[in-house]
Amino acid sequence: MMIQPIQPGFVGVVTGIDICQPLTAPEVAQIEAGMDSFAVLSFPNQPLTDEQQVVFSANFGELEIPLAAQMMAPEKRRFQKIELGDISNFDGKNTDKLRDREDSRRMYALANRLWHSDASFRAVGAGYTLLHSRVNPTKGGNTEFADMRAAYDALDAKTKALVDDMIVGHSIVYSREQIGFEVKGDADNLKPVKHRLVVTHPVTGRKSLYLSSHIGEIDGWLIPEARAFLRDLTEHATQRQFVYSHKWEVNDLVMWDNRTVMHRATRFDDLKERRDLRRTSIKGVGLGVDSVPVQQAAE
Amino acid sequence: MISVRPFHDLFVGEVSGADLTRPQTEAEIAAIEAAIAEHAVLVFRDQRVTDEQQLAFSERFGPLEHTGGTGISKPGEQRLHPAFADVSNLDVDGAVLARDNRRRLYSLGNMLWHSDSSFKAVPAKYSLLSGRVVVEKGGETEFADMRAAYDALDEAAKAEIEDLICEHSLIYSREVLGFGDLTDAERATMRPVRQTLVRTHLVSGRKSVYLASHIGRIVGWPVPEARAFIRDLTEKATRPEFVYRHVWRPFDLVMWDNRCTMHRARRFKSDAVRDMRRTTVAGDAPTVALAAA
């Protein structure tokens, strides 16, 4: 196995391994070490089945069950494997029909075009996310990644001191609000969860900004002040020198660490062209993205 | 006679040889108009103008906007003549507004990229901002050249936006920062207006993208799709090479053309005194035939 960085220290291309087959423990360790170094790994030419994607993902921890799959009746699910997230623009199981312009699933998914970290609105955010490409549009539909370690390092000392102990509230409501989409549903899932804005990687010890468009508040700050500050910080953190844009090829598998990168989708002509990606996510238990205990958050 | 030194690769000129405390000749006004048509933003240094002098100079470019009827300031709370937009953080007695003051929180919307008065049916032409007391750190004003932003779009993107109509309102830009503390009466004065997304400058003939954080909708588009699109376009239009950051010196007067630039304020300490006074020259006509949304 060989890992070749695309940018110094950020995004590695992994070749010389067949991840459709079960991995050995040293291979898993090597991939994890690669993730620690590069935050994003891209595996080209891996024709994974759904089952193989789940098996490969499970090497890295416990898989999350996507919210949408949880809430959907089994017969409506597109995939047999409940762990797979449907990142397509298909009208459910009917893969020949694309979602209509006004489809609420489409509206909801448009917020993926905002910079975010997966599941940061949960008490335990996602660790790794793995995305496998099956169908791509002719133009657009890239996934962009921003290195939150480099973004943290590039802050001036004063801003570091300001953000180091900051506690922020994340909710799916906040990211959808930004594009004028109202999320309705179970109030418990929508309640903001508190995370530290700066997290320390348990292996490398590097600090990074745990930013996400799901953030809507900073403890102790007035809302408009907090939002203005978070926008500026996000702008800083997503400057082009910190960003890699992945142009998908069929059978690419890209995995990233949500603790150290943000990502977003770029636009494509989703009313005319098909795009099918399948997502698995690993729970970030014990990885430094657990929510801040309520008591500590109140201090 | 005035002379203008380019200050940036794309736009912005620094004007020398002007004294704005005295009446300008026809020739001087013509020279300034020609300069702003080319540079879009003009910086005049060391102009210790009084409010009267700023008004007199501004009026040479056309009728001024009055700030009454928009925003959230009430009569009696205003520090300045009604032709001024008070861009300070001071109350009527000259004291710095408290951190949680409603007007202060409202004004944080100026930290978002915008074009002045794009939420009016007839939007503003020029803004003239005089820095009477400037802060030592932060508080810069950034400008972005929307002509260059337009020029940099590829042909498909130009074709896509050519006929788009957007709805602008102060309500939308305040929503972005979670400021929804508006009365029904205030909301009534902030009803959305329509503007074209592409404008052609009357003097220079150049096209520009007419963007502002006041945009909340594109006519005929679902709201989330419009918002995501405008965000992406704004990001492209404000990339570093199109941006000039003005670091204020005391008594700088900066004049810009809202028809082809956006601007935004940068953060500064909430307890520092910042006294900036803006006059605004009204535009000539709506950008669309039916401006009321």
Report the C-alpha gap between B128 and B53 in whole angstroms: 12
User: Nearest residue on chain B to A270, judged by CA atoms?
Assistant: B225
The more confident residue out of A231 and A288 is A231
A81-96: b (≥16 Cβ within 10 Å) or e: eebbbbbbbbeeeeee
How far is residue A210's CA from residue A124's CA, in Å, rounded to a whole number?
13
Band the pLDDT of A299: cuts 50, 70, 90.
Answer: very low
Q: How far is CA A151 from CA A225, A251, A290, B244, B267, in A?
A: 21, 30, 21, 22, 19
Query: Would you call A267 an interface residue with chain B, using a CB distance cutoff of 8 Å?
Result: yes
The band of A295, judged by pLDDT with boundaries at 50, 70 and 90, is very low
Q: CA of B21, closest CA in chain A: separation in Å?
A: 36
Q: How confident is the model at residue B181 (pLDDT cuts 50, 70, 90)?
A: confident
Residue A180 in contact with partner chain B when CB distance is under 8 A:
yes
**pLDDT level of residue A293 (50, 70, 90 thresholds):** low
Q: What is the pLDDT of residue B242?
A: 98
Give residue B195's identity as a one-letter amino acid code: Q
Is the ipTM here above 0.90?
Answer: yes
The set of residues, in sequence order, having a beta carbon less than 8 Å from that of B276 and lying 6+ positions away, is B87, B88, B129, B130, B131, B132, B134, B248
List pLDDT tens digits, range A2-45.
999 999 999 999 999 999 999 999 999 999 999 999 999 999 99
Nearest chain A residue to B105, by CA = A224
Q: Which structural domain range is residue A219 located in?
A: 2-297
**What's the pLDDT at B104?**
94
CB contact under 8 Å between B267 and A228, yes or no, is yes
Cβ of B108 within 8 Å of Cβ of A181? The answer is: no
pLDDT at position B75 is: 74
Check whether B292 has a pLDDT greater than 70.
Answer: no
Q: Which residues of B touch A229 (CB under 8 A)?
A: 267
> A158 to chain B: which residues are within 8 Å by CB?
none
**Where residue A93 falls among pLDDT bands split at 50, 70, 90?**
confident
The DSSP-derived string for chain A is -EEEEEETTEEEEEES--TTSPPPHHHHHHHHHHHHHHSEEEE-S----HHHHHHHHHTTSPBPPPHHHHHS-GGG-S-S-TT-EEEE-EETTEEEEEPPTT-HHHHHHHGGGS-B-TTTTSSB-EEEEEEEEEE--SS---EEEEEHHHHHHTS-HHHHHHHTT-EEEE-HHHHHHTTT----S-HHHHS-EEEESEEE-TTT--EEE---TTEEEETTS-HHHHHHHHHHHHHHHT-GGGEEEEPP-TT-EEEEETTTEEEEEPP--TTTS--EEEEEEEE-TTTT-BPPPHHHHH-
CB-nearest to B178 from A107, A113, A216 is A216
Checking if the pLDDT of A196 tops 50, the result is yes
Total domains in the fold of chain A: 1
Continuous segment of H or E residues that includes residue B231: helix B223-237
The whole model's pTM is what? Answer: 0.95
Taking an 8 Å cut-off on Cβ atoms, the answer to whether A114 and B231 are in contact is: yes
Name the average pLDDT for chain B.
95
Mean predicted confidence (pLDDT) in B63-85? 82
Rounded-to-10 torsion of CA B237, A233, A42, B225: -50
Cβ contact (<8 Å) for B177 and A216?
no
Encode pLDDT of A154-164 as tens digits.
999 999 999 99
At residue B73, what are phi and psi to the nearest 5 degrees? -75, 140
Residue B69 in this model has a pLDDT that exceeds 60: no
User: At B146, phi and psi to the nearest 5?
Assistant: -80, -10
Please say if the pLDDT value at position A260 is more than 50. yes
Query: Is residue A71 scored above 80 in pLDDT?
Result: no
pLDDT (tens digit, 9 = 90+) per residue, B114-171?
999 999 999 999 999 999 999 999 999 999 999 999 999 999 999 999 999 999 999 9
Residue B12 reports pLDDT greater than 80: yes
Q: For the range A32-36, what are the long-range contacts, defined as Cβ-Cβ under 8 Å and sequence gap of 24 or more?
A: A32/A60, A34/A3, A35/A128, A35/A255, A35/A257, A36/A201, A36/A203, A36/A204
- Please indicate whether residue B292 or residue B83 has the higher confidence score (pLDDT): B83
Tell me the CATH number at A9.
3.60.130.10
Q: Is A67 exposed, middle or buried (0-12, 13-18, 19+ CB in 10 A)?
A: middle
Q: Check if B105 contacts A (Cβ < 8 Å).
A: yes
Check if A221 contacts B (Cβ < 8 Å): no
Tokens of B140: 């810069």
Q: Residue B13 and residue B276: Cα distance in Å, rounded?
A: 20
For residues A116-133, give the mean pLDDT.
94
> Which residues in A lie closer than 8 A to residue B176 (C-beta atoms)?
178, 227
Whether chain A has a CB inside 8 Å of the CB on B227: the answer is yes
d(CA B273, CA B87): 11
Q: Is the pLDDT of residue B76 over 50?
A: yes
Q: Strand pairing of B13-16 and B41-44?
A: parallel
Question: Tokens 């694309």 label which residue?
Answer: A98
